[in-house]
Amino acid sequence: MTGSDYWETVNYHILPHWMKRVSKPKHWIKNTYTKIFYGKPYDYKVEYAVVHGKLHINYWRKRSTENPIAEHKSKSTPVLFYLLIIIVLAGIGFIWYNNSDLINSAQSSIIPSPTIIAAAPSLSPTPLQTIRSTPIPTTPNINFKQSPKTTSYSYISKGNHGIISFTTYGGLADHFSKEDHSYYHDFEKETIMELLKNDNQDEYLQPLIETIKKKSNNPDDQAKIAISLVQYIPYNWNAYYGVSKGWYYPYETLYNNKGVCADKSLLLAYLLNQLGYDTIIFEFSDHMAVGVKSSSNYDFYDSGYAFIETTRPTIITYIPDTYYGGFTITPNPNIIHLNGGKNSLDVSQEYRDATRLKQLEAMGEVLDQTNYYDWARISNYYDLQYDS
């Protein structure tokens, strides 16, 4: 192997400025891949690797092989050129300043100063001229209220079905779709929190929060309505089988009225947090769910938070044995904590019903009359047979 073919590992802090700039990923990284950036005196190779949901970037360099492809390096103006311009401008200013002094001294030697022969006449004051400033043009606000769409969102509360009609706007959804969902250093701060913390999103979703609050005076009932509403949103099977462009803002998921587990979990976490509940996100290797603060008697693996499945109507604290494709829930997910909410949710009834449902499912497909009645009661109360 020749010296020109040898790649040596380098740290980020010794990279040149142009390399730090162009090597940042411009899109959501899903799979591991490498990319080469050509420059002088070194070419650089970068590996983008996603491990357990976190982006790792590794760098190598080798002596430039005079490759004609200068893929990303931008040409910079030499510093000496800027220094030369500054010196020239300084020289011009110096000459102009000295010449003006010479002119003034010449004029003072030729033209004598006037002699005052009388008192200056009294001048009547004249009103100050009103200065009218031209207003600075302001950039008009973007019209987010284009393409309104009113959707009826279903939910179930204490065995009773309900509907919340809410209008979303294509203008704001399109605005969010153009936002960069990628991250460079911190996955949680640069992606998750960016999706959940947005002033425009807060403004346009506040009416939905208020509508949910009007459905009940009990804060716990309000939270359970929000949970059910998100669970009823259809699952986006096209995104599941296809190549996803990345995650959606909660507002986008509402506007699209569909989403995968991550989209629906982000939406539910947002709504619960806005309703005042201490909320977290459970991030597994191939799945995402929501946790809400609860009694330690009902929490998920001593986390202090009750498990909430968002993909379809499911009892709070109920954990499916297996998911589509054979995925199973593990006890050690990555936990992302949302800031703001402080309330805990009483899920004692849900926990009892979820435990009983597990017992009934373990009995097999054929149940006696008593157990079948119990299964039907729980199933109907939470609408577990709903199929989107």
Question: Sheet containing 8-10: which strands, arranged edge to edge?
Answer: 8-10, 54-63, 42-51, 33-37
User: What average pLDDT does range 281-304 have in this prediction?
Assistant: 95
Report whether the peptide linkage leading into residue 137 is cis, meaning its omega lies within 30 degrees of zero. Answer: no
User: What average pLDDT does range 109-133 have in this prediction?
Assistant: 36
Which residue intervals of the chain bear CATH 3.10.620?
148-382
Whether the CB-CB separation of 347 and 299 falls below 8 Å is answered with: no
Between the alpha carbon of residue 85 and those of residues 95, 97, 98, the distances in Å are 16, 18, 20
Whose tokens are 């009007």? That residue is 214
How far, rounded to the nearest angstrom, does the alpha carbon of residue 90 sit from its chain's CA centroid? 48
| 106 or 142, greater pLDDT | 142
Report pLDDT digits (tens) over 14-43.
Answer: 778 778 777 776 555 656 778 888 888 888
Whether the CB-CB separation of 222 and 245 falls below 8 Å is answered with: no
pLDDT at 344: 98
Closest CA to 39 of 79, 69, 77, 9: 69
User: What average pLDDT does range 49-75 have in this prediction?
Assistant: 64
148-382 classified as CATH 3.10.620: yes
Amino acid at 246: G
Q: Give kind and range of the element (H or E) at residue 338.
A: none
**Distance from C-alpha of 210 to C-alpha of 224, rounded to nearest angstrom:** 15
384: number of CA atoms within 13 Å, CB side? 18
pLDDT at 305: 98
Q: Place 309 in a pLDDT band, splitting at 50, 70 and 90.
A: very high
pLDDT at 291: 98
Q: Count of CB atoms within 10 A of residue 168's CB?
A: 22
Between CA 194 and CA 156, with CA 173 as vertex, the angle to 5 degrees is 90
**Distance from C-alpha of 193 to C-alpha of 80, rounded to nearest angstrom:** 44
pLDDT at 245: 53
Report pLDDT digits (tens) over 367-381.
Answer: 999 999 999 999 999
CA dihedral (99, 105, 111, 115) positive or negative = positive
Mean pLDDT of the chain: 80
Whether the CB-CB separation of 301 and 220 falls below 8 Å is answered with: no
User: What average pLDDT does range 71-88 have in this prediction?
Assistant: 50
pLDDT at 93: 62
pLDDT at 356: 98
**Distance from C-alpha of 336 to C-alpha of 349, rounded to nearest angstrom:** 26
How far, rounded to the nearest angstrom, does the alpha carbon of residue 348 sit from its chain's CA centroid? 33
Read off the pTM: 0.65
Residues 6+ apart with CB under 8 A from 249: 176, 179, 195, 198, 201, 266
Look at residue 190 and tell me whether its pLDDT is greater than 60. Answer: yes
pLDDT at 84: 61
